[in-house]
Structure 1
């Protein structure tokens, strides 16, 4: 067993009897200053320990979301009808997807960008519409010529009025004309407008009656509309019952459709026609001339384009009348980050998310005058991925995967149908932001260094001050040493 004296011999902190020590005012002052310094430095060290620090590096993209990227958007076009609005995707690898509909929703909107009804369903796209062979046959002008002056009078007089809105320069309109006139002649003979009065077929030249065509939101030629008497009584939040016809355009198909429409109206009746069996060829016509397009598309992580335009396999468009002005409510890459996760991430990186949706709330307007005709609005987007890694609980945890981008936009005159184009390029590099977790042992070591260092420095200063004061006293007493 060790004796008590032997244990005492290893004491690092041997004590001086209290009656052999002397307190001084200078020592007391230095002690107070030293204590305050210790507290101040301890607070700074504690604050540094509690503050989150990060390190940023640039590495080759190691995305966990595969080779595809999600583009989410909500864009309003005040002058593009939902009837022909198409979302297309292309890239440098040759991918070319036209009129994407599965993940896209459309809503007709008014001039204030407010929806005028439920979701607009454009239905299946007709890729091979049948036309008649009456080109070489002689045909008269049996369809009623309609204008802004007589349109409403005919529409209110006949239970059903079917109108061909056309443009003489349009090749599709030229192919339809013989069949349309022949069908009008057959219907006139079967259902005499004076004796029967249940149906009439008319036509509107949109190059002559531009105001009338704009009033009915005609953007593609030819547009065949079926007007039922009383359709101007729009109730139920803008619901209306006139339709667009998208079926075959040969004489037989046109006559069959008209027969079905007439069959639901008794002779001499003015009541509205009921739904018929040819509904697949007809869909509700757009209530207004604007369209809000929202949804998402998935694209490959290579340079490419997201294009929104007017598209149809059996209609022509007047480029000088197309206006692709739009207001972007939302446009982002990748999946949306929840508010909670984004708040946690901003704890590390305050500026994170500032460029996630850089185009939000911006409007790009083309006035549509002659000087602004055929204007394509292009957006060039440079996309970079930012990944935030947190190291809480001594384990790495992926907090946020964020795609941020820069945007440059321009209005370009084009010889073709104007479009809204979003050209995107993804960087092959990504920004990796990692949280640096501080060691508690390092914090304790620094605290000990602060306490020991301040105590030692204060002791040195006290010794110097004490000896200096003794020396001054000796000189004052005239002592030699």
Structure 2
């Protein structure tokens, strides 16, 4: 065994007997200052250890979220009816999806962007509408032409007033005209306006009566509206002013629809019994919009290639007057990829200088067409998207914390010869921003801590020695002079 004497020989900290040491006021003061300085440096080093060094680099995109990108949006159109609002997606690879409905919701709104009703379900308008066989045979006009002056009196006189709002230049209006006039004559014979008085079919020319059509929020031609006298349909303690017909447009279907509406009405009293209306009739009727605006919200998934998200008026059986279309809109929300929750951003405040600055760049902005009516104005947004990823190194390996897509936006207004739209052109950058967090190791912290303690202790000792020897030298000099 190693003797205790030999073991003591390797002692780095040999002790000096207390009787051989001397305490001084200068040494005590310097010791206090050194201790305070150690505490200060310890706090600085601890703060530096707790902070995370962040480095930013630009690298080739190495996305781990697949080949598709999710676009979330909430956009309000004060002058676009939910009847015809369509969300379309296209890209440079040839993808072209029209009128996406599965992940989209539409709510009618007023000019102040307030909701005016429940969600609008457009499923009824998507099926193929039968117009009957085309014919050049002329039928005598059976439908009564209405004007702004006569409209109110007719709606109050007849329990059921079925009105076709049309435009002479519209292909679909002209396609409907033979069936409509033939059906009007049949209905006039079955329910004579003079003796029966329960129903009447009428026409409104929107080129001659633009104010009347605008008041009824007619945006596509032809639009068939059913006006009822009384409170036949009740919903939310109110009544439907009128409904829209979305069924087939051949003569037989129109007559069948009118028969279904008239059946529950007693000829003598003209009182309406809702329970008498057949399901076949009701399924083709939907509450007509009480306002002309629409809020479109939801999400779509697109390929990670340049493409377009387009919101416009669309229908396979209606025509639109492009000069009357106004695509003004307010973007409540538009983002790409998975949204970062506010809670996560709050928990990671250190990332705020790097994240959340432009992933919602268009949010809350309004794009208003100042031209009278619509003036064929398309509003376009050019969006350049770049992915931002935050990683941290733990145990020598990188772990992803947050992935998000930032974007820049440039908007413009341009006149077009085609139907005006709101277009969001997006293009993804092939590069991505990589933010790497490098936490300091505990061993580095301990090393610096030891350096602080040892360094301050050594420097303080040197200063104390210099100060003490200087005082001794001064005393010797004064003693020599006195001798």
Q: Into which bin does the TM-score normalised by the smaller protein fall?
A: over 0.9
What's the CA shift string for 1:344-400, capped at 9, x where partnerless?
A: 333444442232222221111123416x61111111111122222344687654322
Alpha-carbon contact 1:345-1:352 (below 8 Å) kept: no
Alpha-carbon contact 2:124-2:246 (below 8 Å) kept: no
Structure 2 residue ranges without an equivalent (≥5): none
Once residues 273 and 412 of structure 1 are traced to their aligned partners in structure 2, the CA distance between those partners, rounded to angstroms, is 52
Once residues 80 and 268 of structure 2 are traced to their aligned partners in structure 1, the CA distance between those partners, rounded to angstroms, is 39
Matches for 1:37-186 after TM superposition, within 5 Å: 37-126=37-126, 128-133=128-133, 135-186=135-186
Once residues 364 and 237 of structure 2 are traced to their aligned partners in structure 1, the CA distance between those partners, rounded to angstroms, is 27
Once residues 452 and 137 of structure 1 are traced to their aligned partners in structure 2, the CA distance between those partners, rounded to angstroms, is 109
- The residue that corresponds to 2:265 in the other structure is 265
Once residues 129 and 368 of structure 2 are traced to their aligned partners in structure 1, the CA distance between those partners, rounded to angstroms, is 35
Once residues 49 and 42 of structure 2 are traced to their aligned partners in structure 1, the CA distance between those partners, rounded to angstroms, is 10
Match for 2:314 among 311, 314, 326? 311
Once residues 375 and 342 of structure 1 are traced to their aligned partners in structure 2, the CA distance between those partners, rounded to angstroms, is 39
What's the CA shift string for 1:17-41, capped at 9, x where partnerless?
A: 3333333343333222222211111
What's the CA shift string for 1:433-477, capped at 9, x where partnerless?
A: 232222111111111101111111122222333333333334444
Alpha-carbon contact 1:183-1:254 (below 8 Å) kept: yes
- Gap change, CA 1:381 and 1:317, over 3 Å in 2: same
Once residues 262 and 450 of structure 1 are traced to their aligned partners in structure 2, the CA distance between those partners, rounded to angstroms, is 96
Report which stretch shifted further, 465-474 or 65-74: 465-474
Alpha-carbon contact 1:52-1:348 (below 8 Å) kept: no
- Normalising by the residue count of structure 2, what TM-score does the alignment of the two structures yield? 0.92
Shift of 1:217: 0.6
- Gap change, CA 1:330 and 1:179, over 3 Å in 2: same
**Does 2:411 match 1:409?**
yes
SS at match of 1:69: strand
Once residues 17 and 189 of structure 1 are traced to their aligned partners in structure 2, the CA distance between those partners, rounded to angstroms, is 131
- The residue that corresponds to 1:302 in the other structure is 305
What's the CA shift string for 1:79-104, capped at 9, x where partnerless?
A: 11000000101111111000000111
Shift of 1:299: 0.7
Once residues 215 and 418 of structure 1 are traced to their aligned partners in structure 2, the CA distance between those partners, rounded to angstroms, is 21
Once residues 134 and 341 of structure 2 are traced to their aligned partners in structure 1, the CA distance between those partners, rounded to angstroms, is 61
Once residues 425 and 87 of structure 2 are traced to their aligned partners in structure 1, the CA distance between those partners, rounded to angstroms, is 14
- Gap change, CA 1:231 and 1:313, over 3 Å in 2: farther
Alpha-carbon contact 2:391-2:436 (below 8 Å) kept: yes
SS at match of 1:387: strand
Report which stretch shifted further, 433-442 or 335-344: 335-344
Aligned length: 478
Report which stretch shifted further, 463-472 or 407-416: 463-472
Shift of 1:306: 0.7
Once residues 161 and 218 of structure 2 are traced to their aligned partners in structure 1, the CA distance between those partners, rounded to angstroms, is 16
- The residue that corresponds to 1:434 in the other structure is 436
Once residues 420 and 175 of structure 1 are traced to their aligned partners in structure 2, the CA distance between those partners, rounded to angstroms, is 29
- The residue that corresponds to 2:289 in the other structure is 286
- The residue that corresponds to 2:242 in the other structure is 242
Report which stretch shifted further, 37-46 or 337-346: 337-346
Once residues 111 and 203 of structure 1 are traced to their aligned partners in structure 2, the CA distance between those partners, rounded to angstroms, is 28
Matches for 1:379-394 after TM superposition, within 5 Å: 379-391=381-393
- Give the CA RMSD over aligned residues: 2.3
- Gap change, CA 1:348 and 1:110, over 3 Å in 2: closer
Match for 1:378 among 377, 380, 386? 380
Once residues 302 and 235 of structure 2 are traced to their aligned partners in structure 1, the CA distance between those partners, rounded to angstroms, is 41
SS at match of 2:300: strand
Alpha-carbon contact 1:131-1:176 (below 8 Å) kept: yes
**Does 2:453 match 1:451?**
yes
Once residues 145 and 270 of structure 1 are traced to their aligned partners in structure 2, the CA distance between those partners, rounded to angstroms, is 23
SS at match of 1:221: coil
- The residue that corresponds to 2:339 in the other structure is 336
Once residues 14 and 393 of structure 2 are traced to their aligned partners in structure 1, the CA distance between those partners, rounded to angstroms, is 45
- The residue that corresponds to 2:349 in the other structure is 346
Once residues 297 and 98 of structure 2 are traced to their aligned partners in structure 1, the CA distance between those partners, rounded to angstroms, is 16
Alpha-carbon contact 1:377-1:419 (below 8 Å) kept: yes
- Gap change, CA 1:127 and 1:316, over 3 Å in 2: same
Once residues 232 and 309 of structure 1 are traced to their aligned partners in structure 2, the CA distance between those partners, rounded to angstroms, is 34
